[in-house]
Chain A
Amino acid sequence: MTEKLAILWPEIFLFIGTCLVMLTGQWPSRAIRQFTPWICATALLLAFFAAMTSPPTQGMFPAIVPYAKMIIATVGIMILMLLSGTVDRQLETDVDNGKPFQSIRSNRGEFYAFFMFSLTGLMLTASADDLIWLFLALELTSLPTYIMVAVSREEDSALEASVKYFFLGALGAAIFLYGFALIYGATGSTNLNEIATVFANDGISSIGMIGMLIAVIGVSFKIAAVPMHFYTPDVYQGAASPVSAMLAFVPKTAGFLALMFLLGTVGWKGGHLPIELEATLWIMAALTMTVGNILALLQSSVKRILAYSSIAHSGYMLVGIIAGPGAKGGAFYQNGLAAVLFYLFTYGVMTVGTFAVLASLEHRNGREADHIDDIRGICKSHPVLGWTFVITVLSTLGFPPLLGFIGKLGLFSSGISAGHYALIVVLGINSAIAACYYLRLVAVAYIDDSEKSGDPVYATPFFMRPLAGLVSAGGVILFMIMSGPIVDGALNAATYNAPEQIDHDHDDHHAHDESHDDEVALLDD
């Protein structure tokens, strides 16, 4: 238990923070109310440092915890900056005008608490070593986001998005829970390491395989992969931009961690998953990126474009999952899991910046910027936001030498070294298609200086939002320069210990020869 505790300190700090913000968010004193985000930030910082010192764990992914929680805390802080001013704007204006503070009208406490709950769930996902734990952690990640979508905007579309997201999320959860149940039925254990041992020794039974397939497809709801992607554009568009940014990073990270843990139980033997899983993921990856990219071509809503881009990126990252960890002690360019872990961070940093630009612009009536006309020529009208947008979008496109390029390079090279050439061709074609709409965004923001038609956009009064964008754009540049440590961290985190296979022939013939068994184990090492 204590060893479990040792890796759970980040979650504990976040939970303490969560309890505090539920109180301070409702506090009658305005200063304390406004202190709420700072408590979140403090908790995230503490979690970051606690994660840094996390000891290695037993099992398949011994070193994943520190890296995963550190990137969660880092991107979490960036999202937190972006969330400023999302809720209670009207209420605080009323308080300014002399009306008394009504805690019943305030959403601040819940909003930040749910944000923290979600991140706690995400970190718990990274710590998971059990199917039950994994399920609970995944749901703890997702459930708060349903409500955050609803309260993020005082518009019907937000409620509609929230309801859609909730029902479809529940369906997705039901699917992967069903898969988990089948896996439990096939192996008699919910512990991932034990499941892995059973799979390794007894082979994968049909029930177990069907369970794995259903679980993998169900979890793909979190990463918005085909065929679970339908909700994405509607929800992203319905939610306020800061919450959309969060949706692009938090559930996706949870989903990919869960996928890694699930697939770890069957393992990448000789660089390949079992044929059924590989085929499933192959189809999903190819379809996800293709559907995401080509549907993005037709959109005129920037948030929908980014939603489809989010879908496409899940497809890219699935390539890394299929490629697997490669040979032990291999380099970054051979390790698909390291590429995915690196790309998750990369994607988080870039996406926050892009959404930050949208969140920093609004129409006179308070409607936030969304249509592609709203960002027309912002490099001239709002240079800081404009350049943030250009840098982050180019990085998302994978424009060399920006951060996104380094991430995509890892995915490409790991796929090539695993021998999935056809998939790499699909990935290449998709990157080319993606360039169409990313470059359109850049061109509209940078080049276009035609007269704006319709409603002009103005900067929001929240200083933290453009700052989040700046941090993100700065991060794209900074981490591009200093990608070395993060690459090394991702490579280390992706260390995968295949479950030990106990040789049954030896067991049968030398059932009592324990010393010989030890020798075999040594040889296996």
Chain B
Amino acid sequence: MMTSSLINSFTSSIATLAPDAAGHAAHAEPGAIAAGPNWVLLIPFLPFAAFTLNALYAAFGVKSKLPAWTTVATLAGSFLATLAMFMNFDGTPYTVQAFEWFNLHYGDKSFVANFSFYIDTLTIYWMLFVTGLATLIALYASEYMSHDVGQGYNRFFAAFALFVVSMACLVMGDNLLMLYLGWEGVGLCSYLLIGYFYKKPSAVAAAKKAFIVNRIGDLGLALGVYLTFVHFGTVQYAELFSNETLQSYIAAASHGDFGSIPGEAQWIALLLMIGAFGKSAQFPLYVWLPDAMEGPTPVSALIHAATMVTAGIYLIARMYPVFIVSENALPIVAWIGTITAFLAATIGMAQFDIKRIMAYSTVSQLGYMFAGLGFLTPTGGAYHVLTHAFFKALLFLCCGAVMHGFAGQLDLRKLSGLWKVPGWRIVSIGMLIGCINLAGVPFTAGYFSKDTILAEAFVTPGYAFLGWVLLLTAGMTAYYTFRVFFRVFVGPVEYHPGDELHDHDHDHGHGEEHHHDAGQHGDHHANHFHPHAPGWAINTVLIILTGCSILATGLYFVGGDKDAHTKHYADTMVSESSASYHSHYGTHAFEYYEKDPEHYPEPGHGPRGSIDKALSMPITGGDPHKMMYYISGVIGFVGILLAALLHGPKGLGGLFLGARTNASECKMDAIAKRFGPIPRWAENKWYVDELYHAIFVKPLRIISHVFHWVDKLLVDGIVNVFGFLPRVFAWIIRPSQSGVLQGYAVSMAGGLAIILFVVLVIVARAGGAS
């Protein structure tokens, strides 16, 4: 609260300095919409209070779980407020202003970006799972981070709460500047949390990598926001979407007339898209996300799987009216999404670190979401965001529980049969539910949401190839997902502890009497290691999330609105917001078609045939989604059976297909050998990091060395001369400060005389003459 009012007052005081800034009362502008209830502000400000308190705890050196409970309580409050916002929403978007931020008027132009929140169905849709998951994951983290109670714990929860604040700004802000603020805020928190174990070089490197790669995207976003303002004269959503220029572009785009839309307007979407690719880890900017798993697992689950990485999808969905007026933006989104989905899946298939597999899976699933946006189904994209948020968070938290309990062990070759280890049943069930969702087993939430995207790929003309690639990827997804399950959770019981031995393994006892120092851990643990089964907090969260992942299926059948022709909850929430494809776009196309069928453009015009897409239902005469139910269901099962065959243990655990008898060996090993070096390449992520290193980092380093020397020899030389000059002067005039009274008096009188002489004789003469 304080920081915000601080910024406010500061900017308003700067505004006082600016010409004609203050004093213009806010007059009714086009696109001005109703103000909503002020309690909506609780959603961002409750987590902010938690952040402030946690920072204070850190300042006072609190050494208890207080920060966790503060965070969980405020986030729960925030979630309840979001829920209330959902319940009270009557279908009309509204804004709630916290305080005035930028309100500059100059000439007949203005730049207005207040600290306001824009509430429509898309906002509510996003905030519900963001605050809900944040609450649950904070509860999980209260136990997961318990080995760090003290300064680390305070720091963790302060950043955690700040993340939710930033995410709220990003999603709820009523203008692009708020979005940018939140965007940078989540980036900062992501950086802080990835580098949480700041004494670990790999974590620090990962944090830096995430931050730097995101810079590239953020540059695109910043330029996009700037261009939006330059072109449309506003950055506020309500004004932007009702902007007459934009409406005329949409009308033009709906009959394929992209030539009449200025290139400047089309570039906006391309620039915003770069920002979205950075934040949501799309090719070629995806490389930071797998490394981001260096952060504590709750962070991976919340920030790097469920919420922050979906910011790019939110950005595109929110700015959909701007994207559909760009001829190339959405097709690029579709292609990049598909490429990312496929590429990440191939890498995921060859990894051995289960958290890394999940990370690549996240990249791959984000690719699906982008592809959905590109296939003109923002509903499909957003629906997959929601289901993915639940099951991927669940999967990560299960992996985290494993990591927590087995001293950092994440290698699937060193763990087996957790189902049978006492205390691990809940984790195993959670993992199974998560896996069947991710694999797209029929009648799971993940199955329905992925099918929406896949079906649209075949409905939207021009994307059938991408559809086949995504179908193949779906099979690969099922394979790598169940590869983890079959190897780690079923089969013979076998486990080896990892090398991160937490002190609390001893604090909690586990029957171990002896106390030894850190140096001896490794030797003893091989023999005496007892896995540390998750406690109540972790189990509770896992149970709730398992429930949510199952119940999310139900969302496919409820919440439809017959009047608006929406099929289910996600469809309703997305279609009634700015992300609505039909109301903005389809209507125009239909009108155009009805008015003038003769001049209806050839298929392939429009955003790669989007007009046909708007008319596809009447043309094909059937529901393509139904076909996809069967195809993708079969492909999912093929992937699972393949995983069972190659990685499954003997017996029921391997669906009677597998033959694995210990943790480290399976049928796949022999097959992998026959593929030659390809699995190794995949395991090494197709050497993309090395490629970037060679293409970008190395040349930059060489250039930086060159400039270093140029700087040192030439620029520094010049600067040093200039820096040296004042000192030379100083040496020259220093004797004037002799400290002798008479000298000073004479100097004063002399100075007076000189100035009078100069002014009266020279300046006044010259002035008089001119």
Contact = CB atoms under 8 A, between A and B. Distances in A.
A481 B741 contact: no
A119 interface: no
A214 interface: yes
B737 A233 contact: yes
Given A213-B756, A217-B752, A295-B733, A230 B747 contact: yes
Given A227-B751, A481-B10, A168 B764 contact: no
A226 B6 contact: no
Given A171-B745, A230-B747, A484-B16, A294 B760 contact: no
Interface residues of B, number: 41
Interface stretch (A75-83, A252-260, A277-285, A461-469): A277-285
A401 B760 CA distance: 42
A37 B696 CA distance: 67
B739 interface: yes
A413 B17 contact: yes
B152 to A, nearest CB: 22
With most chain B CB atoms within 10 A of its CB, the pick from A221, A331, A409 is: A331
B101 to A, nearest CB: 14
Interface string A64-106: 0000000000000000000000000000000000000000000
B146 interface: no
A168 B744 contact: yes
B13 interface: yes
Contacts of A168: 741, 744-745, 748
B695 to A, nearest CB: 37
Contacts of A217: 751-752, 755-756
Contact of B17 (A228, A230, A276, A487): A487
Given A279-B759, A298-B734, A487-B16, A401 B754 contact: no
B748 A275 contact: no
A164 B751 contact: no
A234 interface: yes
A407 B756 CA distance: 31
B742 to A, nearest CB: 9
Nearest to B22: A484
A167 B17 contact: no
Contacts of B19: 331, 333
Given A163-B741, A227-B750, A276 B726 contact: no
A410 B17 contact: yes
Contact of A484 (B6, B9, B736, B763): B9
Contacts of A482: 9, 13
B675 interface: no
A214 B748 contact: no
A436 interface: yes
A429 to B, nearest CB: 9
Interface in B702-734: 723, 726-727, 729-731, 733-734
B694 interface: no
With most chain B CB atoms within 10 A of its CB, the pick from A172, A406, A409, A484 is: A484
B759 A280 contact: yes
Contacts of A279: 758-759, 763-764, 767
A225 B356 CA distance: 68
A280 B753 CA distance: 12
B52 interface: no
B767 A295 contact: no
A484 B727 CA distance: 39
Contact of B751 (A228, A436, A488): A228
A192 interface: no
B12 interface: yes
A246 to B, nearest CB: 21
B760 A276 contact: yes
A294 B397 CA distance: 62
Given A276-B760, A294-B730, A401 B10 contact: yes
Interface string B393-423: 0000000000000000000000000000000
Contacts of B760: 210, 213, 276
Contacts of B726: 293-294, 297, 433, 436
A359 interface: no
A232 to B, nearest CB: 9
Interface residues of A, number: 50
Given A171-B748, A295-B730, A297-B726, A230 B736 contact: yes
Interface in A164-178: 164, 167-168, 171-172, 175
Contacts of A276: 759-760, 763-764, 767
B193 to A, nearest CB: 27
Contacts of A163: 741
A234 B13 CA distance: 39
Contacts of B17: 331-333, 406, 409-410, 413, 487
A214 B751 contact: no
Contacts of B763: 275-276, 279
A487 B17 CA distance: 8
Nearest to A481: B9
Given A234-B739, A483-B13, A175 B752 contact: yes
A403 to B, nearest CB: 10
Contacts of A227: 747-748, 750-752, 754-755
A60 to B, nearest CB: 24
Contacts of A234: 737, 739
Contacts of B731: 298
A291 interface: yes
B733 A213 contact: no
A157 to B, nearest CB: 10
B744 A230 contact: yes
Contacts of A213: 755-756, 759-760
A481 B760 CA distance: 46
B756 A214 contact: yes
Contacts of A401: 10
A393 interface: no
Interface string B1-29: 00000100110111011111000000000
B740 to A, nearest CB: 9
A297 to B, nearest CB: 5
B744 A164 contact: yes
B741 A480 contact: no
Contacts of A171: 745, 748-749
A489 B14 CA distance: 15
A27 B729 CA distance: 53
A480 B6 CA distance: 9
A164 B755 contact: no
A231 interface: yes
B755 A436 contact: no
Contact of B758 (A283, A293, A297): A283
B745 A484 contact: no
A226 B13 contact: no
Given A297-B726, A333-B19, A284 B744 contact: no
A275 B762 CA distance: 11
A356 B726 CA distance: 29
Interface of B: 6, 9-10, 12-14, 16-20, 723, 726-727, 729-731, 733-734, 736-737, 739, 741, 743-745, 747-752, 754-756, 758-760, 763-764, 767
Given A210-B760, A331-B19, 6 more contacts: A167-B741, A213-B755, A331-B17, A331-B20, A333-B19, A484-B13
Counting from the closest, the 3 A-B pairs by CB-CB distance are: A227-B751, A275-B767, A230-B744
Interface of A: 163-164, 167-168, 171-172, 175, 210, 213-214, 217-218, 221, 226-228, 230-231, 233-234, 275-276, 279-280, 283-284, 290-291, 293-295, 297-298, 331-333, 401, 406, 409-410, 413, 433, 436, 480-484, 487-488
22 contacts: A163-B741, A175-B752, A214-B756, A217-B755, A227-B747, A228-B748, A230-B737, A230-B744, A275-B763, A275-B767, A276-B760, A276-B763, A293-B726, A294-B729, A295-B734, A297-B727, A331-B20, A332-B16, A413-B17, A481-B6, A481-B13, A484-B16
